Amino acid sequence: YGEWGDKKKLLGTLIDSKAPLPGVLIADVLANPSQYGTGAKEKLLGAFIDCKTPLPEDLIADVLAKPLEYGEWGDKEKLLGAFIDCKTPLPEDLIADVLAKPLEYGEWGDKKKLLGTLIDSKAPLPGVLIADVLANPSQYGTGAKE
């Protein structure tokens, strides 16, 4: 494949082109990040924080499991805030992690604030969050079910 056999160049070019990234490429970056150059996982995740592309489940699972490999995006509070700002559907696994480990998400670990912000943003509410509100309404403030 000539110059396109250079995985670092291929990834960088595809990210810069804003084209959808193939699942097989995402899987290879996650499995072999050193073949794609320094900061490959951080660059890969950054390509999805464009408010247009849903975050692949395997990528969010890797971020949650190995946040230190994602540079600035390994900061869970910043990561969640970026997706809230996008007003796109939030990954169920990400919200489940917030509910399980609220202290890792700074201000977003406050369930009342999280619910209010998501409602105000008009983003679709993740099912895991709806289920938690119904099961634990007092944790979300007065009138949470309303």
Q: What is the pLDDT of residues 3-13, one digit of tens each?
A: 778 899 999 99
- Average the pLDDT over each of 15-19, 36-40, 129-133 and give the range with the smallest value: 15-19
More confident residue, 14 or 2: 14
For residues 129 and 95, the answer to whether their CB atoms sit within 8 Å is: yes
Percent of the chain with pLDDT over 90: 55
Cα(134)–Cα(74) distance, rounded to whole angstroms? 30
Res 20: pLDDT: 84
Res 48: pLDDT: 83
Give the Å distances, CA to CA, from 112 to 37, 58, 101, 130. Answer: 41, 28, 15, 13
Over residues 2-28, mean pLDDT: 89
